[in-house]
Amino acid sequence: MKANQIVLPLEELPKNWYNIAPDLPEQLPPPKEPEGGPSRMEFLGETMIHECLKQEASLDRWIPIPEGIRELYIQAGRPRPLYRARRLENHLGLKKARLYYKREDLSPTGSHKVNTALAQAYFAAEEGKTTLVTETGAGQWGSALSYAARLMGLQCRVFWVRAVYEWKSDRRTFMKMLGATVHASPSKETEVGQQFLRKNPKHQGSLGIAVSEGLEKANLEEDSVYCLGSVLNHVLIQQSIIGLETIEQFKRVDDEPDLIVGCLGGGSNFGGIALPFAGEVLKGKRECSFLAAQSEAAPNLVKGEYRYDFGDVAEKTPLLKMYTLGHRTEMVPIRADGLRYHAAAPLISTLRNQGLVKAVAYPADERLVMEAARIFFQNEGWLIAPESSYAVRAGIDEALKAEKASQEKVICMNISGHGFLDIEAYRDKLNIE
Amino acid sequence: MKANQIVLPLEELPKNWYNIAPDLPEQLPPPKEPEGGPSRMEFLGETMIHECLKQEASLDRWIPIPEGIRELYIQAGRPRPLYRARRLENHLGLKKARLYYKREDLSPTGSHKVNTALAQAYFAAEEGKTTLVTETGAGQWGSALSYAARLMGLQCRVFWVRAVYEWKSDRRTFMKMLGATVHASPSKETEVGQQFLRKNPKHQGSLGIAVSEGLEKANLEEDSVYCLGSVLNHVLIQQSIIGLETIEQFKRVDDEPDLIVGCLGGGSNFGGIALPFAGEVLKGKRECSFLAAQSEAAPNLVKGEYRYDFGDVAEKTPLLKMYTLGHRTEMVPIRADGLRYHAAAPLISTLRNQGLVKAVAYPADERLVMEAARIFFQNEGWLIAPESSYAVRAGIDEALKAEKASQEKVICMNISGHGFLDIEAYRDKLNIE
């Protein structure tokens, strides 16, 4: 029997996260204070989770996953299966290329974001905090944090860009059903929100305003902490569970990937699957390439500059050395909203700078990527998130290229989330009635 | 580490389905022709899958699952985990009662219906058919059959009650994205559809009309077969994979259920989890009770009569001996639309008549059950289908009863599907903004 599903027994759920920092050929450029204004580091030191800040600067290669978090991971359905995409291979007529995919779409909130959300909620509770505060754009991060907070018995407060809050009624209900307090931003909850509302009571909001509101609230309330869902080192460390499982799963089928493909906005799912493999490449233990699939709406790795920039529009973060389009760049709306971010995580950016990570950007009309999602759905049977469709598009393109060159190639794609809450995007982009 | 997830290795995916028919204390009352009209059996013999009709009348206890179907089951993510609901137990303050749940919500189309859809698609292809035809009400069955057809390289034609077709745009896109042809019923595709449209061009349709259209189409086209998703013996046999896996999973944690709970409309998910356990009870190999959770909108097992009735409003099926409310009974709309069926499957009905299956019905306003879904979501972290919330409600109620009586009790609930496509129902019933 050909079993396309490759599982990992519960007992083999990794016991440590992987931190690539000590294995980098050059030290990761540290965060910097901007000239003028208050100290961003001090501010974040007061508003964020201490254990996360510790991981942020850690040079330990292996960071133990507390047993409590491992239990939460198992509750959330980990380890997640790796699949051999034999059905897709047959459809594409591949003889030389082999395709695999990792199933983060099986997440309880529909995306890989729970991997870090659970860790952050656990550490916040350990530090005696009672409330997690964050902002959300597309809604995946807000959903994941609402879920994690509830499982740890914490409150969750989400500031959500008003335009999206009003439109995505299902995600809104999802968060509220979990007990989260979800504010349309700008809101009356904060000084900064009130300022914007005075100017325009129907202000549609922006991610920058939502970040500012969340930080203000988290900073004012003693028992609150601010949580971030991408870009930062500790997020990528906590996401490394994806790649660590995948390494073990490849061993079980006695195969090895030549190329890891993931979609990339800020870099958390891409880093999650890629960095454990990249670490082994850097140590000379394996050969493997890495490809980030982006949108031309936000091609930070493809067209960005490698320089210090703010992580947010509101300039509340320290300066981070990243491939960036500029933190005030306006980006056209796309359905894969999770990919609309101006810069790539520092850890990914340094690897890009060293030539280990490559990137490709697909047109912002998204027809090519959505078509890849349909092909994947019709052959593998899983409806994936619009964001994940970029990874699948790139995976298919690379497989066809290898095939044309009669080159044997093993490609592993990361499926960052499911598409059950994004069906309208497919209806629209694929012209389905 | 407390692992709440109980997996079954791929190698232990069952190799046979279980058929309870030979283990029944009394022979199952056979289907009968109604007085007058054409032979229903002959008609179905011409329009349905031969292997399914063979299973329908089989007295073999074990029916081998072809390797090709086992591969499809693994592709679709089987075996599915069983969970110990420790978090829910803690929330409810249970000391004596233990709760478990089986995760059919991990299905690619969001419900347990894929278990029989894949089997039917496989057998249809083996018999040289090219097109699967069916009707759908809530849309779960249409989605599952669209999926299965596509994975087997077959066409799928779904006749969908027009009122629901127009309203459930996401499920409609889901089916069409899989390549299915979905007709709003009544349609111009059939004689019977045209008749209704001539009388009223905006006819909103009914399940009866959709069944009639599907049967007409399947009967006229040589290469088409008609597929049914519940009630019939072969459907319950193919769903037995749920209970068979669950039996093995309980062995792995050295525990045994005292009570199996599932929601019940026609009986396919309930039969799927319950019948393998019930068979062992009948053979004196275990003690266990069975509870079907229903809606007062369709309390067929609670208030129905045990007599011969048609399986469909259109009177196209033979007469089946079932607990029935009458095949022409009007039922009020509920959000758990999959539970709105006038009769319970013959196999479940005979066990009810023998006292082995009990039933409970919850108010049609659905607040009690939806609240149970929220409690489940907030504690176990999984958003379940409105239908499944009936099983969870009954499971919680029974656990609390046992606890009050200081009675040790192990309860296993079947989670028939996920709720990602039904969030509006929760928004409405739980008064969430």
DSSP assignment, residue B306? E
Q: Which of A383, A384, A389, A431 to mutate to test the interface with B (most CBs of B within 10 A)?
A: A383
Q: Which chain A residue shows the shortest CA-CA distance from B67?
A: A1
A280 CB-contact burial (10 Å; exposed 0-12 / middle 13-18 / buried 19+): middle
Whether A150 has its CB under 8 Å from any CB of chain B: the answer is: yes
For residue A4, give the nearest of B75, B381, B421 by CB distance.
B75
| Backbone torsion region of residue B82, taken as left when φ is above 0, otherwise alpha when ψ lies between -120 and 50, otherwise beta | beta
Same domain, A125 and A37: yes
From residue A323, give the alpha-carbon distance in Å to each of A105, A210, A306, A307.
Answer: 27, 23, 4, 6
pLDDT, residue A119, reads 98
Same domain, A304 and A245: yes
In a domain, B232, yes or no: no
| Residue B252: pLDDT over 80 | yes
Please tell me the distance in Å from A211's CA to the nearest CA on chain B.
23
Same domain, A311 and A210: no
**3-state DSSP call for residue B140?**
helix
Q: Give residue A313's pLDDT band: very low, low, confident or very high (50, 70, 90).
A: confident
B4: which chain A residues are within 8 Å (Cβ-Cβ)? 71, 74-75
A7: which chain B residues are within 8 Å (Cβ-Cβ)? 7, 9-10
Whether A432 has its CB under 8 Å from any CB of chain B: the answer is: yes
Residue B179 to residue A382, Cβ atoms within 8 A: no
Q: CB within 8 A of B39, min separation 6: which ones?
A: B33
d(CA B213, CA B194): 10
Same domain, A215 and A357: no
**3-state DSSP call for residue B319?**
strand
For residue A381, give the nearest of B10, B75, B176 by CB distance.
B75
B382 CB-contact burial (10 Å; exposed 0-12 / middle 13-18 / buried 19+): buried
| Residues in A 161-220 with any Cβ partner in B closer than 8 A | 169-170, 172-174, 176-179
Q: Which chain B residue shows the shortest CA-CA distance from A176?
A: B432
For residue B377, give the nearest of A4, A178, A377 by CB distance.
A178
Q: Enter the ipTM.
A: 0.97
> Dihedral, CA atoms, A375, A377, A378, A380, nearest 10 degrees?
100
pLDDT, residue B189, reads 96
Where is the domain boundary, A201, A226, A251? A226
Please report, for the domain that includes residue B128, its CATH number. Answer: 3.40.50.1100
In a domain, A161, yes or no: yes
Whether A64 has its CB under 8 Å from any CB of chain B: the answer is: no
In a domain, A93, yes or no: yes
Same domain, A324 and A254: yes
Residue A426 to residue B177, Cβ atoms within 8 A: yes
Q: What is the pLDDT of residues B37-79, one digit of tens each?
A: 899 999 999 999 999 999 999 999 999 999 999 999 999 999 9
Within 13 Å of residue A187, how many CA atoms lie on the same side as its CB?
23
Same domain, B277 and B203: no
If you average pLDDT over every residue of chain B, what do you get?
A: 96
Can you give B354-403 as a three-state secondary structure string? Answer: CCCEEEEEECCCCHHHHHHHHHHHHHHCCCECHHHHHHHHHHHHHHHHHH
Residue A177 to residue B432, Cβ atoms within 8 A: yes
Same domain, A280 and A419: yes
pLDDT, residue B109, reads 98
Q: What is the pLDDT of residues A161-212, one digit of tens each?
A: 998 999 899 999 999 999 999 999 999 999 999 999 999 999 999 888 998 9
Same domain, B308 and B409: yes
Residue A74 to residue B4, Cβ atoms within 8 A: yes
For residue B5, give the nearest of A10, A169, A383 by CB distance.
A10
| Residue B249: pLDDT over 90 | yes
Residue B87 to residue A110, Cβ atoms within 8 A: no
Residue B393 is encoded by which pair of tokens?
């409600």
Residue A383 to residue B177, Cβ atoms within 8 A: yes
| Residue A314: pLDDT over 90 | no
Residue A76 to residue B381, Cβ atoms within 8 A: yes
DSSP assignment, residue A84? E
Same domain, B219 and B306: no
pLDDT, residue A390, reads 98
In a domain, B420, yes or no: yes
For residue A127, the one-letter residue type is: E
Work out the average pLDDT over A131-146. Answer: 96
Q: CB within 8 A of B162, min separation 6: which ones?
A: B184, B185, B186, B203, B204, B205
Same domain, B41 and B85: no
d(CA A342, CA A34): 18
For residue A52, the one-letter residue type is: C
pLDDT, residue B207, reads 84
Residue A3 to residue B108, Cβ atoms within 8 A: no
Whether B426 has its CB under 8 Å from any CB of chain A: the answer is: yes
d(CA B196, CA B19): 40
Longest dimension (CA), chain B: 66
Residue B74 to residue A377, Cβ atoms within 8 A: no
- Percentage of chain B with pLDDT > 70? 100
pLDDT, residue B226, reads 97
Q: What is the CA radius of gyration of chain B?
A: 20
pLDDT, residue B312, reads 86
If you average pLDDT over every residue of chain A, what do you get?
A: 96
Same domain, B300 and B360: yes
Instruction: Work out how many CB contacts closer than 8 A connect A with B.
Output: 129
Q: Which of B106, B423, B428 to mutate to test the interface with A (most CBs of A within 10 A)?
A: B423
pLDDT, residue A288, reads 98
Same domain, B93 and B219: no
A176: which chain B residues are within 8 Å (Cβ-Cβ)? 432-433
DSSP assignment, residue A292? E
Please tell me the distance in Å from A186's CA to the nearest CA on chain B.
18
Q: Which of A13, A15, A74 to mutate to test the interface with B (most CBs of B within 10 A)?
A: A74
Q: CB within 8 A of A285, min separation 6: which ones?
A: none
Whether A426 has its CB under 8 Å from any CB of chain B: the answer is: yes
In a domain, A235, yes or no: no
| Residue B213: pLDDT over 90 | yes
Where is the domain boundary, A226, A252, A267? A226
Where is the domain boundary, A226, A255, A290? A226
In a domain, A259, yes or no: yes
Q: Which domain holds residue A81?
A: 77-110+240-429
d(CA A309, CA B250): 55
Please tell me the distance in Å from B53's CA to the nearest CA on chain A.
27
In a domain, A266, yes or no: yes
Can you give B46-107 as a three-state secondary structure string? Answer: HHCCHHHHHHHCCCCCEEECCHHHHHHHHHCCCCCCEEECHHHHHHHCCCCEEEEEEEHHHC
pLDDT, residue B1, reads 76
The pTM of this model reads: 0.98
Residue B10 to residue A10, Cβ atoms within 8 A: no
| Residue A383: pLDDT over 90 | yes
Domains held by chain B: number: 2
For residue B378, give the nearest of A170, A179, A424 by CB distance.
A179
**Phi, psi dihedral angles at B417 (to 5 degrees):** -170, 170
Work out the average pLDDT over A221-247. Answer: 97
Q: Give residue B145's pLDDT band: very low, low, confident or very high (50, 70, 90).
A: very high
In a domain, B72, yes or no: no
pLDDT, residue A316, reads 86
Task: Give the orientation angle of helix A207-220 with respect to helix A40-47, to 10 degrees.
Answer: 60
Q: CB within 8 A of A202, min separation 6: which ones?
A: none
Residue A74 to residue B179, Cβ atoms within 8 A: no
d(CA B80, CA B6): 9
